[in-house]
Amino acid sequence: MRRYSDRVFRLAVSVLGKEFVPEAEDIAQEVFLKAFDALSQFRADSQFGTWLYRITFNKAVNLKSRFRYRRPHVGSEALAHVAIDREGPAEQVENSERDEVIAECIAQLPDAYQSALRLHYWMGYGLAEIGEMLEMPENTVKSHLYRSRQLLNSMLRGRGYADE
């Protein structure tokens, strides 16, 4: 559990989004319970970590489909730690709106594209690591990242945001 807990949690966050950290923690716990219960069924066709990541991915996608239309919760402690920028109110509103549009556009991408984007850009994983977690070849990860960027760029242009 010590060896895999961080990666399992990060994979769950990559599927659900940063706004759903408590849910990702719950999934991580469920994954280890399920893995323990199903350990006798592990056939060693793949590495143990890959098997664990697949369980994590499936649980996160299932949970995500159940609360797709639910707004993420942000506690008051998160709002208290928001850095105050030196931007004026207009710039702050503009940046906030842009960030919200980006989050909405990312949420419209296919799950595999969202996961690849979040694992690569937010979590800092390399292509090989992402491929292992999502059980896909490195070149497929590259394709997902390329296509997700293209789709995201197209969606943002459709909403009035030039290449940013």
Question: Which CATH code, of 1.10.1740.10, 3.40.50.300, 1.10.760.10, 2.60.40.1260, is assigned to 1-82?
Answer: 1.10.1740.10
| pLDDT at residue number 79 | 46
> Residue 82 in contact with residue 37, Cβ under 8 Å?
no
The DSSP code for 70 is S
Please tell me the pTM assigned to this model. Answer: 0.58
> Residue 35 in contact with residue 28, Cβ under 8 Å?
no
pLDDT tens, residue by residue, 83-128: 555 567 777 777 778 878 888 888 888 888 988 888 888 778 889 8
| pLDDT at residue number 155 | 92
What are the residue ranges spanned by the domains of the chain? 1-82, 90-164
| pLDDT at residue number 67 | 67
% of the chain surpassing 70 pLDDT: 85
pLDDT band at 73 (very low <50, low <70, confident <90, very high): low
> Do 1-82 and 90-164 show the same overall fold?
no
What CATH fold (topology level) applies to the domain 90-164?
A: Arc Repressor Mutant, subunit A (1.10.10)
| pLDDT at residue number 154 | 92
Q: Write the single-letter amino acid at 86.
A: R
Give the span between the Cα atoms of 152 and 117, in whole angstroms: 10
DSSP calls for 8-57: HHHHHHHHH-GGGHHHHHHHHHHHHHHHHHTGGG---SS-HHHHHHHHHH
pLDDT tens, residue by residue, 42-71: 887 777 887 888 888 889 888 887 765 455
Supply the mean pLDDT for the chain.
Answer: 81
The number of residues in the chain equals 164
